[in-house]
Structures are given as structure tokens and as C-alpha cells.
Amino acid sequence: MTATVAATGQQSDTTTFEHRKRGRWLDTWEPDNPKFWESGGNHTARKNLTFSVFAENLGFSVWVIWGTVVTSMGLAGFDFLAGLGKGNPIAVSNALLLTSTPTLVGAALRIPYTFAIPKFGGRAFTAFSAAMLLIPTVGLAYFINHPGTPMWVFMILAALAGFGGGNFSSSMANINFFFPEGKKGSALGINAAGGNLGVAQTQLVLPLVITLGTHIMAKDAAGYRFGITLSVLVWIPFILIAAFGALRYMDSISTAKSDGRSYKLALTNRHTWVMSFLYVGTFGSFIGFSFAFPTLIKANFPDLAKIGWITTLGNLAFLGALVGSFSRPFGGWVSDKVGGAKITMFVFGGMAVTCALIMAALELKSFPLYLISFLLLFVLTGIGNGSTYRMIPSIFSAEAKKYASEHGLDAGDAVASARRQAGAAIGVIGAVGAAGGYLLQQALRLSNINFHSMAPAFWSYAAAFLVMSSVTWFFYLRSSFGIARISSLAYANV
């Protein structure tokens, strides 16, 4: 999904811009005009980035909330999750079903949420998408206090939490309009990292608040229900601030229009689907394991419940998303230096090795090795997220230059078309990649049901990562392949 911003009138060096704190519709927006940018456009872009990061961070926080909540629901008196801490196969299966549902819904919403920005404006839609987070949070806070509530009700609430996953695409599409070409990478990187950090903060804050709630009441089912209620309601004030802040202070660009032709071209380009497959391995693994990690730790290492401070910190599950979020910008930076395809190929090889280490940790019943192996896996997914995103514009640019050279076309027009197609492809690739998180969790669930073990799923992951490494080499690193040769030149000139 992509869009173009057409400025009103002729762009010139005399164009200036007046920055305002209050939000408004912007009829003229020329970020690539240096005078326009320096006279106030930069302040307006950064203002919108600030509120966008805040709203998107909350979207991720609500999206991943079920990954932590399910680990305490059995203790809160919900029979369908009883015995999760002892590895009960039914409880583990139900927990993974609840955590994977928001992943699937969030992935499905990413494409329509991208279209929403040109139609409704970034200001209104950011406020709307933030306010929508009230539905799954208030709903969960209510029904968690009714122990007789059937699982299907919580499945609906988990699906509604998927609204938070859709926020990523609308937020990225909106910020893409505000910054000049030379600053888009940094702005989008900050925006994405701010959202990803929401996963880590939720997995840190929720266990702390749940523990606080049980201490205020008692360590019984009622105490756990009170703790979960507090852990959910704590987000409500921030959601209200995000919605109000967006409505009052963010801006909308009236000349931002959807580029349907580029979207159609991107859908018919094989590289869109190759990169979607690779992004399933990187972002799909990041978000899938982020959702499942608290459940996996609790099910595989029940003795941790005897160590109070580890339980209070959610068995340290927040560390996975934290290191994965911080390693994403590094993946983009190192890809600028040596090429995204090379980094991506090695990342997938490393991810296959970490799967073997995780299996060894389970055999040895070693929590330290298990945690270290998973943290290494999360670091690699973060690097891979950055490197794959860096590959997309380079691939489309290289292909366009090759086509223009072979057919005697203007290279400038080809590059401009490639940028639009790359933007469109990113929307599709992001949605497919997020859906990979659902598939990953379902593989864990089915492995647990049919084999009473996670091992088949993890060995399947290892095999899939090796296939993805080979696909990266086949399409983008073979010296005999034209795209690979041109891509290497593109990286050299970054």
C-alpha cells in the first residue's frame, strides 16, 4: 500500500510553512522542499511522529496483552486454563489459541488500516484507532470478574485486541507522508521501534501489577482476578490521552492519495511474495514468540513459581521483546553497510541454530540456557526485521533500473515507480509477516496436542529457517542473477 503527496501549486524555493501546535488539515505539504522543511515543516513532522509513536506503542501493548493475562487466568478460577503452570496439554492449547487470535486479526487489519489514512486523514484515524483499544480492555476488565464466563467470550475479546495490531500499518503509512525521502528511514524506524517496545513494556508491567493486586487482596482466585483487572485498567488513562492528543494536536494531509496502480503492480510482482515469505520468518517469529513466550516459560519450567521475584517479573519473558525491539534498528544500519540480503541469509541460519539450542535446553531442563537461547533468537528476529525491510526498496529499485536499461526507458521515472511499488509492497509484506505469528503459535499448539511435546514444532521451525536462508541466497545473492548484481551496486551507493 502506498500513496503520493501532491503539493498544491508549484513547489518552489520560496515556499514557507507556519508550524502550529493545534492539529489541522494541511492543504500544502512539501517536505522535500528545503525552505518549506526548515521554516516549520520539520517541527510539524516531528510533532506528528511523537503522537504517532505514543499511540502505536499503546496499540502493541493492547495487542500483546493476552500473552501475559492467560498465564494467570487459571489461578483466577477459569477452568479451561487450569493446570497451565504444570504443563496441562489442554490448558497450554487453550492458552496458545487465545494468544494467537489477536495475532491473526491484527495481521488481517493491516491492509485496510493502511487505506484508512488517505481516506480519513492521519489525525482522525489515529484518534479513532487509539479509542478502539478501549473495547478489548474494558471488556476484559469486566468479564475477568465473572469466573463462569465461557472461553468463547474471551476469544472474542482476544480478537478485538487485534485492533492494536492494525495500528502499526496506519501509523507507518501516516508518518511516511510527513518526512522527506532522506529522513523517511529514520522516522519509520523510530515509529516501528516505539511500537515494538510496547510488547516488552506490557510483559514487564502486567505481571508486576497482577502481583500487586494479589498482595492487596489475597493469593486466591479473587485476588488474581483483582490483579488482572488492575493490570488491564492501567492502560485506560493512556489510551484516553493518546486519542485526545491525536485529535487535538496531530495533522492530516489533504493531498495524500492512495496509489492504487502501484498496489496492483506490487501484487503481481513475485518479489512482493518472496519477501512476504521471508518476513514471515523474521517478524512472524518476533511477534509469534512474543505472544507465546510467557506461556512457554510457565508450561516448561513450573518450578520458577517458587522463585518470587522471577514470577513477579513475568518469568523474565519481557526480555525477549525488549532485545528484539532494540536490535531492529541495528539490522537496518548494518544492512546499509553490507547489504540486507547477506544479513538476512545469515540471520535465518542463526535462527535455525537457536532452535537447536532451545531443544537442548529443554532436554537438560536448564532455564538459563533456555532463556539465553530465546533471547538470541529474539535478537536475530529483530536484526532480520531491519534487514528485510531494508531489502524491499533496494530490490524494487534494482529491478526497475534493470528494466529501464533493457528497454531504453528513463531511469528517473523507473526509480520513482519503484519507490511507489516498494511502498505498496511493504503494506502487503507487513500483513503476511504478522500472519506468520499466528501460524507459528498454531504449530506450537498442534504439536502440543498431537505429540505432547513442543519439539516437532521447533524442529520444523529450524527446517523452515534453513529454507528461508536458501531462498534469500537463490533470489538475491547468486552472482549470476541480475537483481543481485544491481542490488550490490545499490547498496554500495547508499
Calpha distance 262→58 (Å, rounded): 31
What residue type is 425 in one-letter code? Answer: A
More confident residue, 302 or 419: 302
**pLDDT (0 to 100) of residue 492:** 39
Q: Return the half-sphere exposure (C-beta side, CA atoms, 13 A cut-off) of residue 386.
A: 30
* Across 32-58, average pLDDT: 90
Taking residue 138's Cβ as centre, other Cβ atoms within 10 Å add up to: 15
Cell (9 digits) for 386: 531491519
Calpha distance 465→445 (Å, rounded): 19
**pLDDT (0 to 100) of residue 412:** 65
- Whether residue 481 has pLDDT greater than 60: no
By three-state DSSP, how is residue 30 classified?
coil
Q: How far apart are the first and last CA of the chain?
A: 24
**pTM (two decimals):** 0.81
- Whether residue 1 has pLDDT greater than 60: no
Calpha distance 488→76 (Å, rounded): 56
Q: What average pLDDT does the chain have?
A: 84
- Whether residue 90 has pLDDT greater than 70: yes
More confident residue, 393 or 164: 164
- pLDDT confidence tier of residue 10, bands split at 50, 70 and 90: very low
**pLDDT (0 to 100) of residue 313:** 74
- pLDDT confidence tier of residue 480, bands split at 50, 70 and 90: low
- Whether residue 43 has pLDDT greater than 50: yes
More confident residue, 49 or 10: 49
- The percentage of residues in the chain with a pLDDT greater than 70, rounded to a whole number, is 88
- pLDDT confidence tier of residue 314, bands split at 50, 70 and 90: low
- pLDDT confidence tier of residue 400, bands split at 50, 70 and 90: confident
- The percentage of residues in the chain with a pLDDT greater than 90, rounded to a whole number, is 42
**pLDDT (0 to 100) of residue 488:** 45
Contact 424, 1 (CB under 8 A): yes
Residues of the chain with CATH 1.20.1250.20: 26-258, 259-494
* Across 175-192, average pLDDT: 78
- Whether residue 360 has pLDDT greater than 90: yes
- Whether residue 388 has pLDDT greater than 50: yes
- Whether residue 486 has pLDDT greater than 50: no
Calpha distance 242→61 (Å, rounded): 13
**pLDDT (0 to 100) of residue 218:** 73
Architecture of domain 259-494: Up-down Bundle (1.20)
R_g (Cα) of the chain, nearest Å: 23
Phi, psi values for residue 202, rounded to 5°: -65, -45
Calpha distance 157→140 (Å, rounded): 7
Q: Per residue in 119-153, pLDDT tens? A: 888 899 999 999 999 999 999 999 999 999 999 99
* Across 157-171, average pLDDT: 90
**pLDDT (0 to 100) of residue 491:** 40
More confident residue, 193 or 342: 342
Q: Per residue in 436-476, pLDDT tens? A: 999 999 999 899 888 888 899 999 999 999 999 999 999 98
More confident residue, 85 or 228: 228
* Across 172-182, average pLDDT: 80
26-258: CATH class: mainly alpha
**pLDDT (0 to 100) of residue 493:** 37
